Amino acid sequence: MAEGQRPPEVDRVAASRRAVAARRERAALKRDVTTRVITPQELLRRAQSHPESPAGAMRITEFLTAIPAVGEGKRDRILASLEISPVKRLGGLGVRQRVVLRRFLDERWPEPAPRDARSNLIVLAGPTAVGKGTVAAHIKAHHPEILLSVSATTRAPRPGEVDGEHYFFVDDAEFDRLISSGELLEHATVHNAFRYGTPKAPIESALAEGRTVLLEIDLQGARQVREAAPDANLVFLLPPSWDELVQRLVGRGTEGEEERTRRLKTARRELASQGEFDHHVVNDDVARAAAEVAALAH
């Protein structure tokens, strides 16, 4: 072997490491489709624009079974009807195959259509630990023109939380009174634990003054706001990937393992409901995501 030349086993080890890394990336992408962090159409777009990427290297069979409603039998029937060979990779599909696949996906699993900005009431929801609180706090700090609604809750304050600033901390009797006197725009029991609700009066006066109001609430609350105020702008905050969501939840360190498992189960359900929302913002960067949400203000 010439001096300076790498021994072949070094190249083999490097190649095998690259293959393992690529397999992991493809598995993560599959998980993102299964958990609905990204749509199948989005994965297809990535494969087309970067055929050499992990998305491009994904086999059509892996891609189809990542879609929650598709098992192996259905996958084979879809491939036969679209006349696509099961050995194809997404980045290697021909033009006809891409067109028929895209049309098929749009018919069966349509992507939510973006709607125009609608009203001054913005609702920010999304799965646990996606960063709703962080993004809302950034908007509060940088956009004084937007009112961040302060919710009432029956949970106890955490260290550093101030009554009237972070929440109105109330007991069960007071929460019942707020409901029965019609003082809440919406309310829900969140994570099967404590009750949370949005006081109506401050929102109504801010909207009457022409201000924009931001609610950072859970999915059940967002649905109630849609009923009460159909013009409200519903924004779903998405994590960059499922793995990143799990890491944020674990990294925050505020829940034990049992509670984390419960929240992640709810998160899967919530991600599956993202089609109900008017806008979808990926929280890969707090300042950018906050700017996107704030830009919806009139």
Ligand X SMILES: Nc1nc2c(ncn2[C@@H]2O[C@H](COP(=O)(O)O)[C@@H](O)[C@H]2O)c(=O)[nH]1
Ligand Y SMILES: Nc1ncnc2c1ncn2[C@@H]1O[C@H](COP(=O)(O)OP(=O)(O)OP(=O)(O)O)[C@@H](O)[C@H]1O
The one of ligand Y, ligand X, none whose footprint includes residue 188, by CB under 5 to 8 A per kind, is: ligand X
Contacting residue, 122, 130, 170, 232, with ligand Y by CB under 6 A: 130
Region from 21-29, 112-120, 195-203, 226-234 binding ligand X, contact rule CB under 6 A: 195-203
* 65-82 as b/e: b if 16+ CB within 10 A: bbbeebeeeebeebbeeb
Residue with tokens 């499922």: 242
Interatomic CA distance for residues 204 and 210, integer angstroms: 10
Cα end-to-end span (Å), the chain: 70
Residues 213-232 that bind ligand X (CB under 6 A): 216-218, 220-221
283 forms part of the interface with ligand Y (CB under 6 A) = yes
Residue 251 is a binding residue for ligand Y (CB under 6 A) = yes
Please state, in angstroms and rounded to a whole number, the distance separating the CA atoms of residues 194 and 212.
28
User: Out of 35, 39, 61, 151, which residue is the one contacting ligand X (CB under 6 A)?
Assistant: 151
| C-beta closer to ligand X: residue 52 or 165 | 165
Q: What pairs with residue 151 in β-bridges? A: 167
Work out whether 190 is an interface residue with ligand X (CB under 6 A). yes
* 246 labeled binding residue: no
Of 82 and 286, nearer to ligand Y (C-beta) is 286
C-beta closer to ligand Y: residue 218 or 278: 218
CB-side neighbour CA atoms (13 Å) of 179: 16
Query: With binding defined as CB under 6 A, does residue 132 bind ligand Y?
Result: yes
State the minimum distance, in angstroms, from the CB of residue 213 to ligand Y.
18
- Our finding on whether 134 is near ligand Y (CB under 6 A) is yes
Nearer to ligand Y, 15 or 272 (CB): 272
Point out which residues bind ligand Y (CB under 6 A). 128-134, 248, 251-252, 283-286
